[in-house]
Structure 1
Amino acid sequence: MEPTRVPTVDELRSAPKVLLHDHLDGGLRPATIVELAAESGHELPASDPESLGAWFAESADSGSLVRYLETFEHTVGVMQSAPALTRVARECAEDLAADGVVYAEIRYAPELHVQQGLTLDEVVGAVAEGFAQGVEASGGRIVVRQLLTAMRQAAPSLEIAELAIRYRDHGVAGFDIAGPEAGYPPTRFLDAFDYVRQENGHATCHAGEAFGLPSIWEAVQWCGADRLGHGVRIIDDIAVAEDGTAKLGLLASYVRDKRIPLEMCPSSNLQTGAAPSIAEHPIGLLADLRFRVTVNTDNRLMSSTSMTREHQLLCEAFGWGLDKVEWLTVNAMKSAFLPYDERYRLIMDTIKPWYREHA
């Protein structure tokens, strides 16, 4: 049997890809940050795009959570006006489309963008306008939806959940919580998750990234999250014997049996210490065990990455071919917060035909 051929970067870039976990404030172009900072008076650690891009990468790779979080002060800092939000959203859609992404759910916390007087509704509207412009500029090659995130360390989670439901017919796909896991368990936000569920809405939840199995258990069994943001620590509930056989614990079995999607972000996990290397990332074992694994970028600026690069790293580390990329892509499309008929159409008319021709 011939070994699997690892696809080229060009093949991976042109392949249809689906992105479920990407932060709007983590994917800005360095040149845009410089220009927006000049307009708003925001002070940056570097004044030219090249130096600034290097600063973001170095700070994110420093191993210091304080420095990592400081990077977001500068992206969020320049995203405080409607024109700025619209521009960032437009460029996000354009950049993803150029990278071969055909469907994306982009998350951000509206509450972080009201420092200069915007209302939450105005924030959502400005981002929606930007995505519409980006989709049009890309010739309609991409579908983009918003995910509205509530910050764990702040108060208005129910207000953000209500905002997500209010705009679900206007480009908002669902609700999310993010921020520090330790000390802020998902159950603190039960009212928000209950509200979304009772309104027949969709919710994902950052869980099992910095914190272990209790975070995943609460997100799934208490909050009823449809997907797990990261979920990498589910590996703690899987015992692998010396002969390679795996025994799943009750929670891991439940997550796999229920096909709960894992929004995995390999490069980001290396930066936050959730995995020591790509080759040792739990995604390899979880994919072998047929969990509902998806591949994502998390923060493209901070991780100096793209969907093409994430798939390239995984294919090289695990010897995966285009057939595995297709499986991961279909996993993600099946897991999208999009009506079934639209998901089915993207899989059958856009994704599968390309892989059938190129695999």
Structure 2
Amino acid sequence: MPAPLSVQTIRDAPKVLLHDHLDGGLRPATVVELADAIGYDALPTRDPDELAGWFLGAAHSGSLERYLETFGHTVAVMQTTEALARVAAECAEDLAADGVVYAEVRFAPELHVERGLDLDQVVMAVLEGFQAGAARAAATGRPIRVGCLLTAMRHAARSREIAELAVKYRDVGVVGFDIAGAEKGFPPTRHLDAFEYVRQQNAHVTIHAGEAFGLPSIWEAIQWCGADRLGHGVRIVDDIAVDADGSAKLGLLAAYVRDTRIPLEMCPTSNVHTGAARSLAEHPIGLLTKLRFRVTVNTDNRLMSGCSMTSEMAALVDTFGYGWADLQWFTVNAMKSAFIGFDERLALINDVIKPRYAELGF
């Protein structure tokens, strides 16, 4: 008999995470301690529990300005090599404790140079932190493999530098290149030189697209910039017409995304908080899963949205009635879509993910 679906059994199941922001997943107590260490006194409260509530309240506020304010606090305390390494190590440990066996965690190096670090120092500190955290997690019986995605800010002009960093450090932990930030007014085609460089170097690209802006953002990300994956991609649903009888007709772009198996890095709770979806029940993940797009489930910002991979999976079970077969499907989708080598992806699927699901009775 299959194990019952509960928070604990879902936590014990192996999970794969492709879309998680380092500056969106700090422990509240760490934010306070790092702020004290550098004399940063702008936090709304220095009580960790109250601070966690403040971050979550900002995410729920409906105000984009207040939501973005939260990152001002986390980035502010991540400006030294010690802080960056600590945050990265704790990220790896927290994800492993949540049953994540493989994660790709992204951050924007250009946001962490306010106190004199250069881009190389920033990247090396984060990579060292991931290694240390993964080692500590393995020692507790929770092994995790962490890959790093380097993100350029789409409103800035340093994308080529960040792309070169992604290639420079790909043999020591960086697995790909990303751009993030406001979609409207800052199309990915502003950074074509960076994407062209990455492609020429046989490296991987994921692009935030189709979250706050519609189909043009997705089209540009894929057809102009060569995105291997779409960060969020929820607005692909705008190219799908659903008839009264429930049958769906895909437009040319949606059909292309599905037919070529372009992965969608969907972040259900965060998408509701940012207004990309009105509610979890109305989130496009339900339709896109039914139509068998390459859907993956992710956290986005664990601190701001008060979520984990376990809570995301559990919420989907409660909302859509998914079972173990669906959770394994999401997990294998994500592992297939990871930016590491084929042999390593296959080993994690065949030696870690499928055997554990078999133990759970599926």
TM-score (norm 1): 0.98
| 1:319 equivalent among 299, 303, 321 | 321
> Is the contact between residue 6 and residue 315 of structure 1 (CA under 8 Å) also seen in structure 2?
no
Q: Deviations over 1:218-257 (max 9, x none)?
A: 0000000000000000000000000000000000000000
Change (3 A) 1:5 1:16: closer
1:357 CA displacement = 1.8
The corresponding residue for 2:115 is: 116
Partner of residue 52, structure 1: 51
What is the distance in 1 between the residues matched to 2:245 and 2:170? 48
CA contact (8 A) 1:5 1:319 kept: no
Greater shift, 52-61 or 213-222, is seen at: 52-61
Deviation at 1:7, TM superposition (A): 1.3
Q: Deviations over 1:139-163 (max 9, x none)?
A: 1610001100000111100000000
Contact kept, 8 Å, 1:5 with 1:321, in 2: the verdict is no
For 1:8-157, what aligned pairs fall within 5 Å after superposition?
8-43=6-41, 44-139=43-138, 141-157=143-159
Tell me which amino acid in the other structure corresponds to 1:97.
A
Moved more, 234-243 or 40-49: 40-49
Letter in 1 for 2:291: L
Aligned to 1:223: 225
CA distance in 2, matches of 1:326, 1:154: 38
| Count of aligned residue pairs for this structure pair | 356
Say which SS state the counterpart of residue 138 (structure 1) adopts: helix
Q: 1:187-235: per-residue Cα shift (whole Å, max 9, x none)?
A: 1111101100010000000000000000000000000000000000000
- The answer to whether the Cα contact below 8 Å between 1:6 and 1:320 also exists between their aligned partners in 2 is no
Residue 301 of structure 1 aligns to a residue in which SS? Answer: helix
Gaps of at least 5 residues in structure 2 are: none
The equivalent of 2:282 in structure 1 is 280
State the shift of 1:5 in Å: 9.0
Amino acid paired to 1:67: R
Contact 1:5 1:320 in 2 (8 A): no
1:182 and 2:184 aligned: yes
Moved over 2 A (4+): none
Q: Distance in 1 between matches of 2:56 and 2:355?
A: 36
In structure 1, give the amino acid aligned to 2:112: H
User: Structure 2: which amino acid aligns with 1:274?
Assistant: A
TM-score by structure 2 length?
0.97
Q: Secondary structure at the match of 2:305?
A: coil
Q: Which runs of 5+ in 1 are unaligned?
A: none
- Within a 5 Å distance, the mapping from 1:262-301 to structure 2 comes to 262-301=264-303
CA contact (8 A) 1:6 1:319 kept: no
CA deviation map 1:23-52 (0-9, x unaligned): 000000000000000001112111110111
For residue 174 of structure 1, give the secondary structure of its aligned residue in structure 2: strand
> 1:235 aligns to what SS in structure 2?
helix
Instruction: For 2:32, give the aligned amino acid.
Output: V
Query: Contact 2:3 / 2:9 at 8 angstroms: preserved in 1?
Result: no
1:210: which partner in 2? 212
Quick one: which amino acid aligns to residue 275 of structure 1? A
Shift of 1:17: 0.1
Structure 1 residue 336: deviation in Å? 0.1
Please provide the CA RMSD for this pair.
1.0
> Equivalent residue of 1:354, what SS?
helix
Query: % of aligned pairs identical?
Result: 69
